[in-house]
Chain A
Amino acid sequence: MKKIIIADDSSLARMFTSRCLSAGGFRNYEVTEAKDGQEVFALLMETTYDLVISDLNMPEMDGVELMTRISQTPQLQSVPVIIITSAGNEDQRKALVTMGAKAILSKPITPSDIAKAVGDLLDAEENGYA
């Protein structure tokens, strides 16, 4: 079973993203929730995860810092990260992609948004071009 981290300081956002994942057809996943980037990083250092879906604007450690930490940690560099953000202007989005974000989705997301982003990622992984 694939393991996914959903990170957002908002309980509603975490629940909503999880619900969209399920409605988007991704039901055989074990979802772990995290409130900020620090929690995500700690989880990643303990256990192997297949995907991180993270908000950008979080207290303690935001999405940018999380991506920086992941990219600087050799054993985590292959973990794909999808960013979900309420804002994220164009420059920020480009910076996130440069840092390695696989997709950037705008809130409010829909099941089809998440299905496409996660589906594209899984297809790429399975076919060797992630």
Chain B
Amino acid sequence: MRDWNLDKEKLRLAVESTLENIAFCIVNEVEHATATPASEMVSSFISCTIGKSYKVAIALSIHEAYLDKIVSDLYPDAESIGEYLQDTLDEFINTVAGIFFRSIEYEIGAFQLSIPYHEHSAISESAVKYYFLLDDTHPLTITIS
């Protein structure tokens, strides 16, 4: 099993590239999670099948108030942004996962990403987590398990 702790830099680059290019957001990596209630975070999940059977799940979680802000900026003419919130998060994780797994493809070999999904069992304690901040207070978390 791969030690995902070794890929921190590549994942950071994937998150930065995605958020900056698509949403013009600057993200900063931080060492620890913020004290944000889970109820204030929204998540999207994607799984990656490596080879024929090894599966990895990545979760992207963002503070819902900041996601509202991102989506409002992306769709300035929309009367209501509700329909775009999950779609935007799904596209973020889709792009992050693509950049990340392409960057390690020479090590892991052929891979296949799923379509993003929203129902997931509880993230295991052994999952590797990376923490970022969007501006000074709003967290973004990536989890690999």
Contact = CB atoms under 8 A, between A and B. Distances in A.
Interface of A: 9-13, 15-16, 57-59, 85-92, 106-108, 110
A110 B21 contact: yes
B3 to A, nearest CB: 22
B74 interface: yes
B105 A10 contact: no
Given A12-B88, A108-B99, 20 more contacts: A12-B22, A12-B84, A12-B87, A13-B91, A16-B91, A57-B115, A85-B98, A86-B95, A87-B98, A87-B101, A87-B102, A87-B111, A88-B98, A89-B105, A89-B109, A91-B110, A107-B94, A107-B95, A107-B98, A108-B21
Contacts of A87: 97-98, 101-102, 111-113
A107 B92 CA distance: 10
A100 B105 CA distance: 24
B21 A59 contact: no
Contacts of A108: 17-18, 21-22, 95, 99
Contacts of A88: 98
Given A87-B101, A106-B98, A107-B94, A9 B115 contact: yes
A89 B110 contact: yes
Nearest to B48: A87
A63 to B, nearest CB: 12
A86 B115 contact: no
Nearest to B84: A11
Interface in B12-70: 17-18, 21-22
Contact of B97 (A12, A86, A89): A86
Contacts of A59: 115
Contacts of A58: 115
Contacts of A92: 110
A88 to B, nearest CB: 8
B81 to A, nearest CB: 11
20 contacts: A9-B115, A10-B87, A11-B83, A11-B84, A12-B22, A12-B74, A12-B88, A15-B74, A57-B94, A86-B94, A86-B98, A89-B102, A89-B112, A90-B110, A106-B99, A106-B102, A107-B99, A108-B18, A108-B21, A108-B95
